[in-house]
Chains A and B, each alone.
Chain A
Amino acid sequence: MGVTSLKAIGVVAALSVSALSATAYAAPTCGADPVVLNSYFETGFPLPTRLAEEFTKQFPNVTFDIKEDQFANLMENSPRVLAGDNAPDLIRLPSISDLVVDGLLKNLDGYFTDFGWDKFPASQLVQLRINESGRPRGEGSLYSMGLNYSLTGVFYNKTLAAQIGMTAAPQTLAELDALLEKAKAAGIQPIQEWNAPNAGLAFPLQNLMGAYGDPTPINDWIFQKPGATIDTPANLQATQHLEKWIKAGYFPADANSLDYGANMGQFIGGTGLFLFNGDWESGNLDKQMAGNAGFFLMPPAVAGAKHAAMSAPLTYGIGAKAKNADCAAYFLNWVATNEEARKINVAVGGSNPGGPPDLPIPAVAPGSVTEATLTAGNVLAGDNGAMDFIANATGAIFAEGWTPPLQLLVGGRTDAAAVLKAVQAEYEKQLAR
């Protein structure tokens, strides 16, 4: 009994010190009573579970009841799960628009003030804001937070790069083209990319869009701003460039039957020079291709121009019916501000942990892929070039909008102009229904 009381006092003291040091006065905490955070995470990504374990270590009264689902299942199940009586306190949210319209997500504006999230760079949270009517995104109240902030770009195999005489990352799109041509001539698979069951070619395409044009119109389209279109002259140039790569044979001949897992296996196995993907693979590549994988941001079309790339938060929200909303919010704030949490975030997730800009990014092994992706993140932030993923514009735009025409494009059954027209038509159809 005495030990329990002492423990309780210790927990209260720890919570108080932690809360006062890291947050504004009177910010919500998890209290000292036992709390079980009902959590719904994404299968295959160990980061949230590792963070939960560390949180329980620091705050023993808080434990997590974790359920996991694949990304696609999360997309499909989240409305019903959130509408149920046992709504999660913490939930991975692939898409927030419909959930906000149906009143299923907790408005986090109160926590924004309580925890002092106004000290976070505004650009970090912009993708997590949404108008109460469900559109546009990028403005209005805060409805979710990022566990970290991922970035896409180009991974490369250092051994294969050395074989074609690549000594530094390309600085322009033309230099990248030259490297691709050399790889093809040397009998090396230039780009290792999947395109089934969903279109992995969306990754090189969006990087090309960033190389050719300003990310703002693309973000407007993703955020469903009135009158936004993906069929712009710059995006057409980008798609035509992608088509040129396809015709040159830079992608695997079986891309349409290659899924994400198989493709990663082949890249790690050393079959491809370049891979367009995100920094959530940095930790994995550091482990499985130790010292043999590198990363660079997609170079701009014009030398010296700014970089632009897909960079999106690993979105987590709190259910409107959550029983422990304050504790869930405290956890989200802790992830961004606690030193140990930030270390885990970088080591396991491989991405920028976000948070206030004055907090240092935890150190990583010199020369690692994680170091390269974190450095690239700083470059992108400096260039103000972050875009959300074009596949996040609507809940079904990836499966029904991007995937069929990009599969047709890589199969030589359509052209660049038709791809953008088809995607825009599907986008308008989905918004109209």
Chain B
Amino acid sequence: MTDTSMPSLRQNPRPRNSRRGRGTLVAWLFIAPALLFYTAFVLIPISMTAYYSLLRWNGIGAMQFRGLQNYLTVLTEPDLLTTIGNAFQLVLYFTVLPVGIGLGIAQVIRTHLGGPFGTTARTILFIPQVIPLVAAGIAWSWMLASNGVINQLLSAVGLGGWTRGWLGDFDFALPAVGIIGAWVLLGLCTMLLVTGIAKIDPTLYEAAKLDGASGWDEFVNVTVPGLRQEIGVCVTVTVIAALASFDIVYVATGGGPGGVTNVPGLEIYRLAFAHRQVGLASALAIVLMILVIACILPIQWLMREPRK
């Protein structure tokens, strides 16, 4: 027995190692295509941007090494800092409104709009998400123009004194851009939250009802905690959309009037292609990336599932 078992004991580790080695190789082969694309289209461009941020370069001519001078410009130039401030204001509209309204809609669909009505409502609410941002920006620009439908509606209900060219108004241009973003992102948030709410155990709602909970109590104590992960995804996606916004602002206002809607995304584009200051544009891009990560990491930490 011993003689027969010993060899097998001695031989076993080799095939196990070999299997493990083969497994690792197979795993790498599975990962390789994605890793290749990720490296080519994410890691290398980020590294190149970081490298360009240390240069003075117009994109065509000779490069000059500037060290951290471009970063110093980004952090001390009031105009560039203002764009970052504008982006944070957009978070209010791009994140708070869609997530807040999306939660409300999800609750209403769960309680009142079952069956085909719910499906129809979900489809209609998701439509903004499939419309290209540029198209949304153009459509809203027409609606918010002086003779657009928004002002026509205000005049029709006796609020003619409020009519204005919304996207050209110093006080309302940024909120108007924010509303466009909120409209676009509402579809995504609603879809995620409606899908998430359907997964919450119905017995929790029954238990809450038996305990005499009101609709609000159900919402706060069952729905919101049950949607923790979905809310986390919504907040993450919308905060990134706000901080890295470009399309809607470019189409709707071009950063005006007087720069009140200018955002880092637009400024990066202008610095690189109009000013031809690729180094400074890259430095602003890196600063924006760090800011986005700095905002997203705490959100991820807050929204993670509590350990059981």
Which A residues have a C-beta under 8 Å from some C-beta of B?
Answer: 75-77, 79-80, 83, 98, 101-102, 104, 195-198, 252-258, 262, 395-396, 399-400, 403-405, 407-408, 411, 413-414, 430, 433
Contacts and interface: CB of A to CB of B under 8 A. Distances in A.
Given A256-B256, A405-B258, A75 B274 contact: yes
B254 interface: yes
Contacts of B61: 101-102
Interface string B230-264: 00000000000000000000000111111100000
B253 A411 contact: no
Interface in B42-98: 56, 58-61
Given A102-B61, A258-B146, A411-B257, 19 more contacts: A80-B60, A195-B257, A196-B254, A196-B257, A197-B255, A254-B168, A256-B169, A257-B146, A257-B167, A262-B145, A399-B254, A400-B275, A404-B258, A404-B259, A405-B258, A407-B256, A407-B258, A411-B170, A430-B275
Given A400-B270, A411-B170, A79 B60 contact: yes
A104 B59 CA distance: 13
A430 B277 CA distance: 10
A396 B257 contact: no
Given A102-B61, A197-B254, A79 B165 contact: no
B228 interface: no
A104 B280 CA distance: 23
Given A75-B274, A407-B257, A408-B258, A102 B60 contact: yes
Contact of B280 (A252, A404, A433): A433
Given A83-B60, A254-B165, A256-B165, A395 B254 contact: no
Contact of A257 (B165, B259, B275): B165
28 contacts: A75-B274, A77-B273, A79-B276, A80-B59, A98-B276, A102-B61, A104-B60, A195-B257, A196-B253, A197-B253, A253-B165, A254-B145, A254-B146, A256-B169, A256-B257, A257-B146, A257-B167, A257-B168, A262-B145, A396-B274, A399-B254, A399-B270, A400-B275, A404-B259, A407-B168, A408-B258, A414-B258, A433-B56
A236 B56 CA distance: 35
B58 A258 contact: no
Contacts of B169: 256-257
B164 interface: yes
Nearest to A72: B274
B168 A256 contact: yes
A286 to B, nearest CB: 26
Contacts of A408: 170, 257-258
Contacts of B274: 75-76, 395-396, 399-400
* Residue among A101, A104, A195, A400 with the highest chain B CB neighbour number at 10 A: A400
Closest 9 A-B residue pairs measured CB to CB? A257-B168, A197-B254, A257-B165, A256-B168, A254-B165, A76-B273, A407-B257, A256-B257, A254-B146
A258 B60 contact: no
Interface residues of B, number: 29
A77 B170 CA distance: 31
A257 B252 CA distance: 9
Contacts of B275: 395-396, 400, 430, 433
A198 B257 CA distance: 9
A321 to B, nearest CB: 13
Contact of B168 (A98, A255, A395, A400): A255
A248 B169 CA distance: 19
A411 B170 CA distance: 8
Contacts of A255: 168
A383 B254 CA distance: 38
B137 to A, nearest CB: 12
A152 to B, nearest CB: 22
Interface in B23-47: none
Contacts of A407: 168, 256-258
Given A75-B274, A254-B164, A256-B169, A411 B258 contact: yes
B256 A404 contact: yes
Contacts of A430: 275
Nearest to A410: B257
B221 to A, nearest CB: 46
A257 B58 contact: no
Contacts of A257: 144-146, 165-169, 257
A340 B8 CA distance: 98
Contacts of B280: 433
Nearest to A82: B60
Given A83-B60, A254-B146, A255-B168, A395 B276 contact: yes
A252 B145 CA distance: 13
A253 B147 CA distance: 12
Interface string B180-212: 000000000000000000000000000000000
* Residue among A196, A255, A403, A405 with the highest chain B CB neighbour number at 10 A: A196
A168 B201 CA distance: 82
B256 A197 contact: yes
Contacts of A413: 170, 258
A405 B170 CA distance: 12
Contacts of B255: 197
Nearest to B145: A257
* Residue among A76, A255, A256, A399 with the highest chain B CB neighbour number at 10 A: A256
B62 to A, nearest CB: 9
A255 B273 CA distance: 27
B277 A195 contact: no
Contacts of B58: 79, 98, 102
A408 B165 CA distance: 15
A195 B254 CA distance: 11
A396 B276 CA distance: 9
Contacts of B145: 254, 257, 262
B266 to A, nearest CB: 10
A79 B259 CA distance: 27
Nearest to A255: B168
Contacts of B253: 196-197
A76 B146 CA distance: 31
A102 B59 CA distance: 10
A256 B254 CA distance: 11
Contacts of B164: 253-254
Contacts of B257: 195-196, 256-257, 404, 407-408, 411
Contacts of A195: 168, 257
A262 B168 CA distance: 14
A404 B261 CA distance: 11
B191 to A, nearest CB: 32
B262 to A, nearest CB: 8
